[in-house]
Amino acid sequence: MNKKSAIYVRVSTSHQIDKDSLPLQRKDLINYSKLILGIDNYVVFEDAGYSGKNTDRPAFKDMFNRIKEGEFSHLLVWKIDRISRNLLDFCSMYDELKKYNCTFISKNEQFDTSSAMGEAMLKIILVFAELERKLTGERVAATMLDRATKGLWNGAPIPLGYKWDKIIKFPVIDDEERLTVELIYNKYIETESTSAVVKYLNQHNIRTKRDGNWSTKTVGDILRNPFYKGTYRYNFRESARGKKKKENEWIVLDNNHDPIIALDLWTKCNNILDENAKKNSARFRAKSKTHIFAGLLECGECHKSFYSKSDKTSLDGYTPSIYTCSSRYNHLGCNQKTISDTIIGNFTLNFISNMIKLSKTYKKLSPEDIEKNLLSGSSFNDVKGIIEIDDIFNSFYNTSSKIFKPNKQETKPANIDLNKLDADLKKQHRALERLENLYLYDEKEMSEKDYILKKNIINTKIKEIDAKIKSSATISTSTYNINFFLNTATLELSKEIIEGNINMKSLIQRVGRDIIKEFVNSLITKITVRDRKVISIQFTNGLISTFIYEV
């Protein structure tokens, strides 16, 4: 193999970037490759502003993928800790390097792994590099704990109602913002509901500290925060949004600073929160009304989830569930109307029923015939077609003319993978939103370079997940497995589904909501609705059906 160097350079902070650390490393290593190793063919990989505690870095990943393809004979770094300060990460990486016959060289430590001594020195140095990192972390943590016990600020975001004072180096009351905090506490005492407080704040265009809309989470955080009663609490969680630590590890200083909320008002609000939390426990919810499509609905307008509640009971005793877009409910600009489980159920269950009826047809059908069969019945009078009909047709006749060929083994992993991908995608979108908020509104400024780098990483992950979802949504013969649709249904419900012409109201009265909900949740991961119509159904086995309506 012709010799070719992969030159890797990294710095941890924007300060180091500004001090020309990257250009220095780059120039030094290029000269080393040319003059010492005699290798003029090289590629430089740069990670600016990334920590060495793990290998989750874009340029590093790109470089390592190319090493695995056999492109490089040497990996050259300025210092060993430019690659990793984590012993396990490095050992794993080094084993991979040996597998692909790539020699590792650290210019500053003056060794290369083509010799046994160089390899031994490498491992010894890395052990001490990781030890130094851990000791530094412990020293920093101890210093911050000591500062907290003295009532000194350790750099968290400033709470609403306070502003930073450069002289005393601690938050002081902001006379304008304090009015919002006082309003939140007083409104909560009046309504005993975080949702009611959120609705009031958003209706009156009162913004959060970061100029955003309110949610029950942000209101709840303010009501729970002891900082507003003058108590400074530190070392409460493992990370900003991590698990709570044991109470004996907390640092709590009462009467540490000027409060916005009186102690008795803060205590009353938190007692109400505690009582409401008990009512909302799983045991209490189990006794509440079952809403069949709760947790499955997405707004086709703003892509937010739906809230569910019971509608008025009719004269015959039937009480439908109705669903409202959470964005509309919280007055965040969405104008979508409520929709009942009768509309959703008639459409969704009759569509499943038509699939099962179609499974009994053994003659070859055209895409038009399949679409016509799937959309037969009064529930689909205004539906013009299905976007994925060609995929449906191809899946029917891909490997066999026998429709709904049973294959339980293929369905199960698709179910697991798609759910995980869906969760990962939502997680990345939330991360992107948090990053943008951090860049735009946080007290501690983030540099534009850091913002762009981190945004690109998240966008890359989103694209990768999107590609996997599209790939896993490719429909195979097993997608339309009749067993998939009936495995989890009770005998009585199975008969209703097979017979078709389902009336949701009658079905609920005969079978019960709990059985239907269990059946629906075993089949469906998401139903998108808009203008009181079902726009698409995403099944747990990978099938997605998107409906085209008459204009």
Contacts 24+ apart (CB under 8 A), 53-59: 53/84, 53/85, 53/86, 53/133, 54/84, 54/86, 54/89, 55/84, 55/86, 55/89, 55/93, 57/10, 58/453, 58/456, 58/457, 58/460, 59/8, 59/10
> Do 506 and 345 meet the contact criterion of CB atoms below 8 Å apart?
no
Known catalytic membership, residue 478: no
Nearest to 301 by CA among 546, 550, 533: 533
From the list 5, 12, 73, 215, the catalytic residue is 12
What is the spatial distance between Cα 44 and Cα 33, in angstroms, rounded to a whole number?
11
What is the spatial distance between Cα 231 and Cα 84, in angstroms, rounded to a whole number?
40
Output b/e per residue, 151-161; b: 16+ Cβ within 10 A. eebeeeebbbb
C-alpha torsion sign, points 325, 472, 407, 351: positive
DSSP calls for 294-324: TTTEEETTT--BEEEEE----TTS---EEEE
Nearest to 324 by CA among 332, 314, 336: 336
Contacting residues for 469 by C-beta, under 8 A, at least 6 apart:
418, 421, 422, 425
> Do 222 and 184 meet the contact criterion of CB atoms below 8 Å apart?
yes
**Residue found under tokens 């979508």:** 336
Instruction: Find residue 306's DSSP bridge partners.
Output: 325
DSSP calls for 266-293: HHHHHHHHHHHHHHTSHHHHHHSPP-TT
What is the spatial distance between Cα 16 and Cα 22, in angstroms, rounded to a whole number?
8
What is the spatial distance between Cα 456 and Cα 413, in angstroms, rounded to a whole number?
30
509: number of Cβ within 10 Å: 13
3-state SS, 443-471, equals CCCCCHHHHHHHHHHHHHHHHHHHHHHHH
What secondary structure letter does DSSP report for 364?
Answer: -
- Catalytic residue annotation: 12
